[in-house]
């Protein structure tokens, strides 16, 4: 019988293409992953990794074991779902992955409600951007994820995942109070065509959304400050260094030196929950979805945030 943790380590190497990447995903050190692979090699009597220079390639035997690991994980997933169904209540561990504004906006309240209502359910949270969160769910490192995509920057889901839409979150333009457009009722992308932008890092979904939003106008936005956390973006905004886009979900009170102005057309991102289709019948998934929907701010995230007095 092969050790499941060792199979998971090999599966992570196959997914991430390196021992270092597998270690980061599993929360281990690279040395620990290498040790797991070495033990699996002794168990199977097969060489599993072909190391040449700084690169690692899986051998045919390794790919066979990685595929077997996928099948084992799928069987265990279905078994866990059936056991929960027999008990007719959410039990065991449930790991939720969510991006920062979702954590602040409603996921924390949803998890607190789950903990109160289902004592046998051990809820955990991993803060993660949507792309990484999807990978966590696919690999079984998270059970469910809250993700988002913008209408002009859709998120592609693997066929192994199911999804349910939670709601829409509108974003507003953020400007320093002394900005020439700060007294406008609304602004358009064309109004902001010559601005220096405070945005997220290249590769992030919000970065791609900003680029695509201006591409239709034949404009490449000047993203002078690449900052992933919105609280840090607000700090740069308050210092008068540029303009930004601020989603309403999870938005903290803003300093008096900052104004938010609705955009026209209003940019919005779609929030969804995703999970492995194999876990469709698991009561813990249904309970978590119900809690997320119950604590979704709904209309509140569509209302312009009040400015700090």
pLDDT of residue 301: 45
Side-chain-facing half-sphere of 304: CA atoms under 13 Å = 14
209-223 residue pLDDT tens: 888 888 878 888 999
pLDDT > 80? residue 26: no
The crossing angle, in degrees rounded to 10, of helices 283-295 and 108-117 is 130
Task: Return the H-helix or E-strand segment holding 16.
Answer: helix 4-16
Tokens found for residue 298: 């709904």
140-159 residue pLDDT tens: 889 999 999 987 788 888 88
219-273 residue pLDDT tens: 889 999 999 888 999 999 999 999 999 999 999 899 999 999 999 989 899 999 9
The beta-carbon contacts of 14-22 under 8 Å, at least 24 apart in sequence, are 14/58, 14/62, 14/63, 14/66, 15/135, 15/139, 17/56, 18/56, 19/49, 19/56
Mean pLDDT of 183-193: 93
Task: Spell 118-149 as b/e; 16+ CB within 10 A means b.
Answer: beebebebbebbbebbbbbbbbbbbbbbbbbb
d(CA 179, CA 171) in angstroms, rounded, equals: 19
Interstrand relation of 144-150 and 92-98 (parallel, antiparallel or unpaired): parallel
Task: Spell 213-235 as b/e; 16+ CB within 10 A means b.
Answer: bbeeeeeebebebebeebeebbe
pLDDT of residue 157: 86
Coil, helix or strand at residue 2: coil
Q: Which residues contact 17 (CB under 8 A, 6 or more apart)?
A: 56
Mean pLDDT of the chain: 85
End-to-end CA distance of the chain: 66
d(CA 198, CA 232) in angstroms, rounded, equals: 10
pLDDT of residue 299: 44
pLDDT of residue 87: 60
Segment among 73-77, 250-254, 277-281, 282-286 with least mean pLDDT: 73-77
Task: Return the H-helix or E-strand segment holding 70.
Answer: helix 60-87
pLDDT > 70? residue 78: no
């Amino acid at each position: 019988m092969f050790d499941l943790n060792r199979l998971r380590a090999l599966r992570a190497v196959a997914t991430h293409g390196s021992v270092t990447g597998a270690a980061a995903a599993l929360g281990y050190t690279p040395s620990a992953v290498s040790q797991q692979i070495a033990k699996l090699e002794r168990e199977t009597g097969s060489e599993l990794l072909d190391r040449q220079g700084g690169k690692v390639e899986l051998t045919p035997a390794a790919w066979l074991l990685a595929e077997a690991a996928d099948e084992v994980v799928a069987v265990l997933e279905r078994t866990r779902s059936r056991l929960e169904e027999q008990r007719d209540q959410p039990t065991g561990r449930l790991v939720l992955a969510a991006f920062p504004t979702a954590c602040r906006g409603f996921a924390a309240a949803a998890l607190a409600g789950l903990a109160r209502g289902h004592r046998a359910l051990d809820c955990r949270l991993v803060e993660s951007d949507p792309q990484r969160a999807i990978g966590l769910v696919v690999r079984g490192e998270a059970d469910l994820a809250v993700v988002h995509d913008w209408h002009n920057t859709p998120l592609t889901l693997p066929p192994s995942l199911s999804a349910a839409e939670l709601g829409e979150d509108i974003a507003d333009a953020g400007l320093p109070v002394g900005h020439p457009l700060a007294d406008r009722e609304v602004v358009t992308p064309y109004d902001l065509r010559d601005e220096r932008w405070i945005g997220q890092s290249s590769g992030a979904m919000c970065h791609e959304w900003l680029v695509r939003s201006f591409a239709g106008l034949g404009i490449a936005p000047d993203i002078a400050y690449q900052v992933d956390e919105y609280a840090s973006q607000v700090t740069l905004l308050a210092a008068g260094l540029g303009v930004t886009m601020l989603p309403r979900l999870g938005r903290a009170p803003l300093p008096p030196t900052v104004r938010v102005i609705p955009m026209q057309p209003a940019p919005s991102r779609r929030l969804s929950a995703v999970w492995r289709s194999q876990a469709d019948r698991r009561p813990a998934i249904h309970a978590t979805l119900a809690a997320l929907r119950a604590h979704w701010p709904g209309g509140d995230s569509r209302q312009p945030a009040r400015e700090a007095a």
